[in-house]
Amino acid sequence: MLASGSGTLFQALLDAATNDFPARIVALVTDRECVAEERARQRGIPVVRIEPAEHSSREAWNTALAAAVSEQEPDLVVTAGFMRILGTGFLRAATTSIVNSHPALLPSFPGAHAVRDALAHGVRVTGTTVHLVDDGVDTGPILAQEAVPIKPGDTEPELHERIKEVERRLLIEVVADVVTRGVVIDGRKAMIP
């Protein structure tokens, strides 16, 4: 798993990856010091930090990130609040699918400010999307989506928390489905058979 922040998505998968869940977390790779690292350490999950500032270029960082992930020999890579765009060097080196969750109904409101952008546009419904990562910004084939209504007077933190509640559950469901059933890609469409 890749994470950058408070680790609530990571924690949700960590909690799910017990008992009969069909996957286990082999490592957490981060790009900076973050709460997710402590959550991983508390459960005995190895943590590897690859900070961009320690590399001469973005491409060098992507190469180091790819090497760190590859060393873990994952069957699936899941980004959980990882706030960096994975570059072509990382994507070329990937030997497995990369799943990302996003706090909007893609293709609407891609990027780092999806919740703020949805509120600014005055949409009545937003939500969350779980998709495969490609070389665009939140443009990969969609695996699952779920709507979250916007309430009158919603603030960004209030709306974001309601989205996160749905996002955590949906990401867990999709990861379990991808691990047990795989993904079939047909052009821009991705289906879990």
Catalytic residues: 102
Phi-psi region of 192 (alpha: psi -120 to 50; beta: other; left: phi over 0): beta
Only one residue has tokens 């491409």, namely 59
**Residue 146 and residue 128 in contact, taking contact as beta carbons nearer than 8 Å:** yes
Strand ranges in the chain using DSSP code E only, listed in sequence order: 2-3, 28-30, 47-49, 77-79, 98-102, 125-132, 142-149, 184-186, 189-191
Q: Is the peptide bond before 107 cis (omega within 30 degrees of 0)?
A: yes
Cα 44 off chain centre by: 21
Residue 174 CB coordination number (10 Å): 19
